[in-house]
Structure 1
Amino acid sequence: MIYKDRSGSQPLSGGPTALFTSVGRRVQLVRHFAEAGWRVIGADLNPADCAAQVICSKVHAVPPCSAGQRYYDRLLEICRLEQIDYLIPLYEPELIGLAGRQRDFQDSGTTVIVSQASSLELCLNKFRLFQFLRSHEFDTPDTYLEPDKIDHTERKGSRWVVKPVTGMGSKNIHIVSPDELCAAYGQVKSPLIQRFVHGQEYSIDAYVDQAGNVRSVVPRKRLVVRSGEVSKSITVEDEAVTRETVRLLAALQLYGPVTVQGIKESDTGRFYFIEVNPRFGGGVPLSMRAGIPYAEWIADRNCDWNGTLQPYQTGLKMLRYDEALFVED
């Protein structure tokens, strides 16, 4: 099913064609590619309710990712039908499945912008990521799988974050006192417990090309967050955070767009890595506006690079607001 066909609404520029999954509300993201001369196709569970239809040439209906092979077969069908050059996944649960099926898409002429499965398995399991960070000497908060593993003195001396081992969008996260810890732990499926760090939250947008070169690192302060997605943010320059992020990305052997989450502790100034999301994050339009040419880099199969990080505009603030789109059924 194709909900809308706007093939005539985008200029025929000869640029690449991209398929974005879970395209829903990602209007600013797909606009970046459309304005760079790309033909943009969307895939979504409910195309009729998809705001990005105003930018996409077409939006195709797909079954839920939980449908397994049927979901991936549908994406492959769309790639063949639309002659997709690049499949850009935006939904974390599909990443490992797409990584294991890259050859199928390559045989149809489509490059999947996704990291290797071993790297994804580290990033998408928050406890495995904690273990990786500690073993590679990155600062990250103390993290446990069970309350009984926490030393009594340490437990009483801190607030705690209880959240699922896997998941996205800041869902089912509880920040609790020591006395509330066990109750919150029982409310979360497959939980982990992490020491709460009081300080300034950061998101760090980065891009790693096919040759493993870290092309950009853009730290930005998360000023206001709604439902897990940043609504106010500002780009900053931080040499220490940038240097450690480059080291982290190299250690994880990632590819494509990455959004790293961290906190700079108020009392100590130490920066703690919290999560690594191996996909475009919700706040990436700010980094795009600050000067990061994601569309150009993804289309650069030769990985032509001068060896330095891409400069970007610091002090650029993004202020999001609600806007209505009106479409006909």
Structure 2
Amino acid sequence: MSGKRYKIMIEASGSLAVGYLISNIQAAGHECIASDIDEESVGKLLADNFILMPLAGDPGLWQHAHDALTEMSIDIVIPSLDETLQGWAQRKQSYAQRGISVIVSDPDVVAICQDKWRTFQFFAEHGIPTAETSLTQDYPLVKPRTGRGGAGVQVTHKKVDMDGMISQEILSGTEYTIDIFCSAESQPEYIVPRRRINVRDGKSTAGVVEKHSGIEAWVRAICKRLRFIGPVNMQCFVLPDGSIKFVEINPRIAGGMALGFAATENWINLIVDNIIEGKPIVPRPIQDGLKMRRYYSEVFATSD
């Protein structure tokens, strides 16, 4: 564990899953600076400090971010918002020159992962098993090419305007989310498949870690072809015949990674020790069978 106390900024601190990230930053001995577009965000109460941010589409967003990072003396940024991820990726080198580390993969990697059509093309080109996908309405499952969670996803046989959309075969079987931590050298040091028991509004509310050598092998194959940095999240299905098909890559930290952290170690320490300070990672055994259940909790504050 690092002896230095870093100031670490996170995004979307009003999300229902943000508590685990804030608590892990603080448990690692660092200062958590929450940010959100809502000044009443729960992250403002849980974190050590708070930055009010403009909307993702605001033309003044990046100047505001620049000024806030400087004013708060931020050392590390851990992006988690899909709408700003590419912006952080494009600016990470310039921030690095100022001594600010942005934990995100390179822009070309982010671009492939954030466009579901390009993700499908990547899988197909490199022989990664994936769901059949089309730019026309060839399949009943229709979803936006870009976007997060289940927003805009529908199963329909009615005609849909396919501008900015894809259609995809509907997969049966068991759905897995895989939490992956990639080192500064883009090596997948942890691969944690977790079966999704319950999902609400695109967020995992219950899951269990299940070792699966087939999933792990394909994840390593993907990581050889895309150079990820830090936390990454993938989704796949294990079909009834035992075959595997990948459907999505999220090149960022994710809300359900609380289970990945708990099954291994605090990944904030990995970010600081390996990516920031260059120390080697010695992976711990993964707690296969570890289960997670989530519940609402309350934070109280006086009006002053």
* Residues in 2 aligned to 1:261 and 1:110: alpha-carbon distance in whole angstroms: 30
CA distance in 2 between counterparts of 1:302 and 1:45 reads 31
Q: Which runs of 5+ in 1 are unaligned?
A: 1-12
CA distance in 1, matches of 2:197, 2:117: 26
Match status 1:32 vs 2:24: yes
Letter in 2 for 1:294: W
Q: Which residue of 1 aligns with 2:56?
A: 65
Q: If the length of structure 2 is used for normalisation, what is the TM-score?
A: 0.92
User: Residue in 1 aligned with 2:177?
Assistant: 203
Contact 1:86 1:110 in 2 (8 A): yes
Match of 1:129 among 94, 113, 119: 119
Separation of aligned partners in 2, 1:192 and 1:227: 20
> Which residue matches 2:47?
56
Which residue number corresponds to residue 317 of structure 1? Answer: 291
Partner of 1:105: 95
SS at the partner of 2:67?
helix
Q: Which residue of 1 aligns with 2:249?
A: 276
Equivalent residue in structure 2 for 1:299, among 254, 272, 297: 272
Q: Secondary structure at the match of 1:288?
A: helix
Q: Higher Cα Rg: structure 1 or 2?
A: 1
* TM-score, normalising length: structure 1: 0.86
| TM alignment of 1:205-220, pairs within 5 A | 205-220=179-194
Secondary structure in 1 aligned to 2:111?
A: helix
Percent of residue pairs identical:
25
For residues 39-60 of structure 1, what are the alpha-carbon distances to aligned partners after superposition, in whole Å with 9 as ceiling and x for unaligned?
1001110021x12223211111
How is 1:1-329 mapped onto 2 (pairs within 5 angstroms)? 14-25=4-15, 26-48=18-40, 50-68=41-59, 70-147=60-137, 150=138, 160-176=140-156, 180=157, 182-183=158-159, 185-186=160-161, 190-266=164-240, 268-300=241-273, 301-305=276-280, 310-329=284-303
Contact 2:10 2:80 in 1 (8 A): yes
CA RMSD, 1 decimal: 1.7
Tell me the CA shift for residue 23 of structure 1.
1.7
Aligned residues: 297
Mapped to 1, the partners of 2:76 and 2:181 lie a distance apart of: 16
Supply the distance in 2 between the matched residues of 1:14 and 1:136 (Cα, whole angstroms). 41
Contact 1:165 1:192 in 2 (8 A): yes
Asked whether the 8 Å contact 2:230–2:252 carries over to 1, the reply is yes
In structure 2, the gaps of 5 or more residues are none
With 244-253 and 114-123 compared, the bigger mean Cα shift is at 244-253
Q: Is the 8 A contact 1:214 1:309 kept in 2?
A: no
Cα distance in 2, alignment partners of residues 55 and 311 from structure 1: 30
How far apart are the structure 2 equivalents of 1:164 and 1:118? Answer: 20
Return the alpha-carbon distance in structure 2 between the equivalents of residues 196 and 233 of structure 1.
Answer: 22
